[in-house]
Structure 1
Amino acid sequence: MFALNLNKIPMPIFYGKAALIDYLKSIKTPNSTIGFVPTMGALHQGHLSLMQQSLAENQNTVVSVFVNPTQFNNPEDLSKYPRTLEADIEKIAGLSTDIILYAPSVEDIYEGKVLSQEFDFDGLENQMEGKFRPGHFNGVGTIVKRLFEIVTPTNAYFGEKDFQQFQIVKKMVSKNNLSVNVIGCPIYREPSGLAMSSRNERLTAQNRADAALIFEILNLAKEKFKTNSAAEVKEWVEKSFETNALFELEYFQIADETTLTPCINKISTQKYRAFIAVIVNNIRLIDTISLN
């Protein structure tokens, strides 16, 4: 199954939900809390920072590693997504052997029916990522809801790089009356400013260095938004990428932080956020920054 000697990893590892559920029942007490960090593996320091926060705030922490097929609208993207479970286990164990790992198969999660549930996220799903990745957020909602049902966490931790996903999960929890606190955690960045992502591993060293431009432009856009309209900032960002052949700008959007609707006229009492998706050497990178 793995070259890794699991006998040397003194942490609980489960590949099936039934065994995990039984184990969590056995350690649960009336006052204990479960923190949960759902991941698709290919773990980096950003993931580990979520785990650290969960460890600090809960008696028990569960981490899942599962590449969810229903949230990929592009089959090629799914096939190329890095799967590095051995390395992931070593990284988690290096952080804490108290973490409970759940690494299920597709069959264990979907039981022969690899289909997305249909969700209504009150329009959050129609913006940005939803426009360019049809069905993506139904897949996200399906897997997160299923994992929440299995793990029954008190608190669940999500990185704010995927801010739209974070808001989608909060909406799903609210509309389904699930008793879990969804906690957003700051973006973990490389020294260059590039947002950490599992996809970064597919970039060449030169591409990785060049991609630091994405965060540079976001910071400049934030400054420009203080004195310019959203439309003017958007036009400036689009022109900035037009002059660089390495990048293909998929979208840049300034939106209300809560509703994710595009900003037309600035309102001083509202919080705004800039969202961006850029393709570098056929690898799609996203980032976001608060503008207030």
Structure 2
Amino acid sequence: MQICFTTESLRQALNGERHKGNTIAVVPTMGNLHAGHIKLVHTANELADITVATIFVNPMQFGRNEDLDKYPRTPDADINKLTQAGCDYLFTPPVSEIYPDGLDRHTVVTVPGISERYCGASRPGHFDGVATVVSKLFNLVQPDHAVFGLKDYQQFQVIRKMTLDLRFPITLTGVATEREPSGLAMSSRNGYLSSDEKITAAQLYRTLQDTAKNVAATGNHFRQLESDAVRQLQKEGLRPDYFSICDAHTLEPADDDTHRHPGQKLVILAAAYIGNTRLIDNLELTLTA
């Protein structure tokens, strides 16, 4: 695996691959890689001739009171995992390479509407940071494919809309969430949790599963089911940020007043705190008659 630290070295290497006629897939990450990330790399290997992983802890998507400084960084372990997974290139630039004039003077990409609810409301500016850095990575790598995990479901939909709106000639692929045996979604932030807290955290996914079953059983009582889920999370020792049953494509709240349409796709989005650690998860479901 070749490691590139600058945009110039990355572009030079990838221009050579394109000259050979190779297709390229990119897997953007912030490092501290786990099995979920490696699954993305394996998917990219299947989609294209060349896989480029990126590791960049993007300061633009962190708020002032968030965990940028203590976000886990494990470069040596990440390099070993990517090498074993068959990744061809790693792009891991310093902040000065991505934002040479600083954050305050950098162009910002904003995706209106879909980025404003849920994590967008709880973390103002977060998705501007995501859209900005991903659009920059798309421009630098110029991939044929881009692979993202669906644990960050809203993020995937924001990037999907940005890709369509800006006419990036890139095929996006979302990969299902990898989970611990308990059901807890794999996340770099799980490292902040104690063993007991991980047991509690697994209740987030169980509550998503219970709510999905209740949607199937009770019909269009979405707001009541959301309230019930929030109470259940609080009872289990979590501090809910949001819990919402939404249209899977637009992320608009599912409407209690509309008729059920067999085949309609919904997603339940949830975020909750355990202590100071914020975890997100989701569950897709398809309505039946």
Decide: shared fold, TM above 0.5: yes
Cα distance per residue 1:97-150 (max 9 Å; x no partner): x52000100011111222464444240011111110001111001000000111
Structure 2 unpaired stretches of 5+:
none
1:147-162 correspondence to structure 2 within 5 Å: 147-162=137-152
Q: Which runs of 4+ in 1 moved over 6 A?
A: none
State the TM-score, normalizing by the size of structure 1.
0.92
Alignment of 1:43-122 (within 5 A): 43-96=33-86, 98-115=87-104, 117-122=107-112
Check whether the contact 1:42–1:198 (CA below 8 A) recurs between aligned residues.
yes
State percent identity of aligned pairs.
36
CA separation of 1:89/1:33 partners in 2, compared to 1, >3 Å: closer, same or farther? Answer: same
Q: Is the 8 A contact 1:117 1:139 kept in 2?
A: no
Going from structure 1 to structure 2, the CA distance change for 1:18 and 1:138 (only over 3 Å counts) comes to same
Aligned match of 1:141 in 110, 131, 134? Answer: 131
Shift of 1:75: 4.1
Farther-moved stretch of structure 1 (163-172 vs 258-267):
258-267
Which secondary structure state, in structure 2, belongs to the residue aligned with residue 37 of structure 1? Answer: strand
1:241 aligns with 2:230: no
Measure the CA separation in 1 of the matches of 2:49 and 2:209: 38
Q: What does the per-residue CA deviation read over 1:136-187, in whole Å, with 9 as the maximum and x for residues that have no partner?
A: 1110010000001110010000100101000100111111111111111111
Partner Cα distance (2:185, 2:137) in 1: 26
AA in 1 matched with 2:268: A
RMSD of aligned Cα (Å): 1.4
User: What is the distance in 2 between the residues matched to 1:234 and 1:192?
Assistant: 23
- From 182, 191, 194, the equivalent of 2:184 is 194
Distance in 2 between residues matched to 1:73 and 1:272, nearest whole Å? 29
Task: Choose the corresponding residue for 1:291, options 278, 285, 288.
Answer: 285
Letter in 2 for 1:65: I
CA deviations on 1:223-265 (whole Å, 9 max, x unpaired) are 0011141012111101112323x31111101111111111122
Letter of the 1:70 counterpart: M
Residues 1:223 and 2:213 are matched in the alignment = yes
Matches of 1:274 and 1:65 in 2, distance apart?
29
CA distance in 1, matches of 2:35, 2:164: 29
What is the match of residue 246 of structure 2?
255
Aligned equivalents of 1:16 and 1:177: distance in 2?
A: 25
SS of 1:124 mapped into structure 2: coil
Aligned to 2:271: 277
